Amino acid sequence: MWSRFLGHFTKQLGIDLGTANTLMYVKGKGIVVNEPSVVAINRRNDKIIAVGEDALAMVGKTPPHIQVTKPLQRGIIADFEVTEKMLRYFFERVHNDKALAIPRPRVVICVPLDVTEVERKAVGDAATSAGAREVLVVEEPIAAAIGAGIDISEPAGNMIINVGAGSTEIAVISLSGVVTSKSVSIAGEEMNRNIIQYARDVFNLLLGERVAEHIKIEIGSAIELNEKLEANMRGRDLLSGLPREIVVNDAQIREALGRSVKAIVDHVKAILEITPPELVADIYQRGIVLTGGGALLRGLDDALSRGTGLPVRVAEETSSCVVRGTAKLLDDKQLLNDVAIPASDLVKGI
């Protein structure tokens, strides 16, 4: 009785705990957190200095006593303590935003495919110790598909490719479950590394990670473009050791990214090959849906379409598909029950 009473007033939170970005959705309020998953800590006293956007701005610019960390790698918690601190910070911000007497939210949170039980439990535990009352864990592509507006409960094949920062999740979903899938570590961050490598090999230029990402977003592409794009690329000349700026164009960056694009296309083809033919026929008719921030790479949809011979579209508001999927799950208890995986022994039913 008491817990039902609490449940009534407790905020309901949907969370996309991503390698690059953490998004939170409060029922009835919409997306309330959309920030980089980055934390800056003062090593002298272990206190948090900044979280999210403010911490990201410090990357590569810190004195020795300030440590900027990304607590997640490939969507998996690499640093439990920092993840918990980050979640707590966001929970508190959400709570303070609108004074409610009871701060402990019920949470639906996503984990990538292929995580171990221990890794999954860590996500549940981090959310619980950061203040969640109850945690339900959902596989990321399931949430992404729901957020993209797909009715996953039908007996029909839907292929969803969520291109994040640390991993690309390829999944075929039917009857609210993942039938065939693969999680590969080629996604946004690998593309940044491709650009860093290219600048080093071709121009003897050492780039920072944020510069590489900026170039990728500004002029990166997977297929030839109608217009020619250029950007300034600033780094350190490896021969002179001095700063240097050069102009790069879309063709050069496309060449740098080519290996990753090809790898993603090949993995998608491999999944299609092992997917039952009935489901492949559905995917042929419905098309493949791309979600995640990495889906914004120019022409990635076309490259995948060319490679597979299937229609491909990028979901609307692709970067927030996963968190919007968790939000829809908060409203659909039946579906949530069908897709939720117990996060830890502490989890109660709903």
Tell me which residues touch ligand ADP (CB under 6 A): 18-21, 75, 164-166, 188-189, 213, 216-217, 220, 292-294, 296-297, 319
Tell the smallest beta-carbon distance from residue 305 to Mg ion (Å). Answer: 22
How many other C-beta atoms can be found within 10 angstroms of the C-beta atom of residue 63? 6
Q: Residue 316: count other Cβ atoms within 10 Å of its Cβ.
A: 12
Q: Which residue lies nearer to Mg ion by CB, 219 or 323?
A: 323
Q: Which stretch binds Mg ion (CB under 5 A): 14-22, 40-48, 240-248, 277-285?
A: 14-22
Give the angle 192-193-196 at the CA atoms, nearest 5°: 90
Residues 275-314 that bind Mg ion (CB under 5 A): none
- Please provide residue 225's backbone torsions phi and psi, each rounded to the nearest 5 degrees: -105, 160
Q: At its nearest, how many Å lie between ligand ADP and the CB of residue 17? A: 8
Give the nearest distance from C-beta 88 to Mg ion in angstroms: 21
State phi, psi for 67 to the nearest 5 degrees. Answer: -115, 125
214 annotated ligand-binding residue: yes
- 127 assigned to a ligand binding site: no
Residues within window 242-271 making contact with Mg ion, judged by CB under 5 A: none
The token duo for 350 is 């709903």
324 binds, among Mg ion, ligand ADP, none (CB under 5 to 8 A by kind): none
Alpha carbons 196 and 199: distance in angstroms, whole number: 5
**Measured from the CB of residue 300, what is the shortest distance to ligand ADP in angstroms?**
8
294 interface partner picked from ligand ADP, Mg ion, none, CB below 5 to 8 A per type: ligand ADP
Residue 34 labeled ligand binder: no
Q: Residue 181's Cα: distance from chain center in Å?
A: 17
Task: List Cβ neighbours of 204 (8 Å cut-off, separation of 6 or more).
Answer: 237, 238, 239
Element holding 300 (H helix, E strand): helix 300-308
Is 215 marked as a binding-site residue? yes
- Tell me, by CB under 5 A, how many residues bind Mg ion: 2
Contact 222, 261 (CB under 8 A): yes
Backbone angles phi, psi at 131, to 5 degrees: 130, 0
141 makes contact with Mg ion (CB under 5 A): no
- Contact present, 167 and 183 (Cβ < 8 Å): yes
Q: Rounded to an integer, what distance in angstroms lies between the CA atom of residue 113 and that of residue 147?
A: 17
188 binds, among ligand ADP, Mg ion, none (CB under 5 to 8 A by kind): ligand ADP
* DSSP β-bridge partners for residue 31: 25
Which of 129, 172, 145, 140 is CA-nearest to residue 76? 140
State which residue, 134 or 139, has the beta carbon closest to ligand ADP: 139
Give 107's contacts (C-beta < 8 A, 6+ positions apart): 12, 13, 14, 15, 127, 132, 133, 134, 135, 136
User: 213 a known binding residue?
Assistant: yes
Determine the interface stretch with Mg ion among 89-97, 147-155, 157-165, 260-268 (rule: CB under 5 A): 157-165
Assigned token pair, 38: 């980055």
Rounded least distance, CB 217 to ligand ADP, Å: 4
- Return the CA Rg of the chain: 21
Q: Which is nearer to Mg ion, 253 or 264 (CB)?
A: 264
| Residue 241 marked ligand-binding | no
Rounded to a whole number of angstroms, the minimum distance from the CB of residue 298 to ligand ADP is 7
Q: Which is nearer to ligand ADP, 18 or 157 (CB)?
A: 18
From the CB of 156, what's the least distance to ligand ADP, in Å?
25
Closest distance of CB 293 from ligand ADP, Å = 2
Question: According to the annotation, is 167 in a ligand binding site?
Answer: yes
Query: Is residue 164 a contact point for Mg ion (CB under 5 A)?
Result: yes
Rounded to whole angstroms, how far apart are CA atoms 157 and 160?
Answer: 10
Q: Which residue is nearest to ligand ADP (CB)?
A: 188
Asked if 18 is part of the footprint of Mg ion (rule: CB under 5 A), the reply reads: yes
Which residue ranges are tagged as binding site for ATP?
19-21, 165-167, 213-216, 293-296
Residues near Mg ion (CB under 5 A) are 18, 164
